[in-house]
Structure 1
Amino acid sequence: MEPKPLWILLTALVFFSGGWFGTEGCLEQERIALLQLKSNFFSDPFSLLDWVDVKGSDCCRWERVECNITSRRVIGLDLNFTRQGQGDVLYGYHNVDVPYGYLNVSLFLPFQELKSLTLSGNQIGDFVDNPVSLSAAFSKLEILGLRGDNFDGNIFSS
């Protein structure tokens, strides 16, 4: 093999692997924020199993997380039916054993590039009263899925 084709092959391998030592994965503050979301709100023991607090765990590879391939920032979260006991919502009735959830918007502040968020089927009743506005937390949001949640009409004024 001539040196020139070998150099092209090595360059391509480095480029597509993310550098000489590979990528570092998702941003640390976003990984920590995802773990806080999981522990503070999304409690179904059968959901988000790969969201683990292990050094070097790449949250861009976790289920239900989508990242920008260049910036490694979280751009999408699909959190359908991730609160414990929410399967009943699928059938159209509220499980009386599981209270409505109140979501803290400030937990989403680290996701500065978030474009898509699906929270459907988690029986969210409202957001926690917070000095952080919905527009500040979701400034880049293009898609918000809330089907099967229990917001009243006030969320749309926010």
Structure 2
Amino acid sequence: MGWVLQKCLWVYFVLLLQIQRCFGCLEEERIALLEFKAYVNWTDSEYGYGLPSWVDDRGSDCCGWERVLCNHTTGRVIHLSLDDIRGDCSSIWYINFTLLSAFEDLQHLNLSSNWLDGWINNEGFERLVGLRKLEVLDISHNQFNSSILPSLGALKSLRTLSAASNDFNGSNHLEGIYAY
């Protein structure tokens, strides 16, 4: 009879863990989103729209925040819509991609319309290589040039790239990626 009790306790423990995971985002991802918000607001606080639902409150579930979509089973962020987060401004912005490296299950990232011209030294697209599930990347309507293409080619899971309205020159080819 002891093994039945052990088995029941084990099943109860596993179910408890699964139920707990369904009720919110992972703490490391919540912190990463707050760090990204602070970076955006610090970089260009005069023009930034901010992200009002992204609050630094222990009880706040980042899966319920605007522009964030999570997997309901795992609680991991799978979609970030960070398009036009700086508002109507014309100043160039340099992104720190390391701030996005915590999102291991991220599948879709939209960074369009932010006047992005590049990244902080050693914090470029190569930092996104760890995002092994990233399939869709939208960097359209920014100021990137062709120098970013080798870094984008390193994103092996990338299937769709939207890069319209940037400063690309010449013929560009990224094998296995649908680019528009």
Shift of 1:37: 0.5
Q: Please, which of 138, 150, 159 is the counterpart of residue 145 of structure 1?
A: 138
Aligned-residue identity in percent: 39
TM-score scaled by length of structure 2: 0.65
Matched, 1:136 2:139: no
1:77-105 Cα distance to aligned partner (Å, 9 max, x none): 0011101xx325xxxxxx2xx2x111111
1:91-140 Cα distance to aligned partner (Å, 9 max, x none): xxxx2xx2x11111111111001110001111111122216724524322
- Residue equivalent to 1:34: 33
Q: Distance in 2 between matches of 1:131 and 1:77?
A: 19
Q: Distance in 1 between matches of 2:123 and 2:115?
A: 23
Q: What stretches of structure 2 of length at least 5 have no aligned partner?
A: 1-14, 152-180
Q: What SS class does the counterpart of residue 114 from structure 1 fall into?
A: coil
Contact 2:22 / 2:72 at 8 angstroms: preserved in 1? no
Q: How many residues align?
A: 130
TM-score scaled by length of structure 1: 0.73
Runs of 4 or more, structure 1, over 6 Å off, are none
Shift of 1:147: 1.3
Relative contact order: is structure 1 or structure 2 higher (C-alpha 8 Å, sep ≥ 6)? 1
Q: Please, which of 107, 114, 119 is the counterpart of residue 115 of structure 1?
A: 107
Q: Please, which of 68, 73, 80 is the counterpart of residue 70 of structure 1?
A: 73
Q: Distance in 1 between matches of 2:78 and 2:23?
A: 17
Q: Distance in 2 between matches of 1:143 and 1:106?
A: 18
Q: What stretches of structure 1 of length at least 5 have no aligned partner?
A: 1-14, 89-94
Q: Distance in 2 between matches of 1:48 and 1:109?
A: 19
Q: For the structure 1 residues 54 and 131, does the alpha-carbon distance in structure 2 shift closer, same or farther, using more than 3 Å as the test?
A: closer
Written as runs of structure 1 = structure 2, the 5 A alignment for 1:1-158 is: 19=19, 23-41=22-40, 43=45, 45-83=48-86, 86-87=87-88, 95=90, 98=91, 100-130=92-122, 133-158=126-151
Contact 1:24 / 1:56 at 8 angstroms: preserved in 2? no
Q: Distance in 1 between matches of 2:34 and 2:123?
A: 22
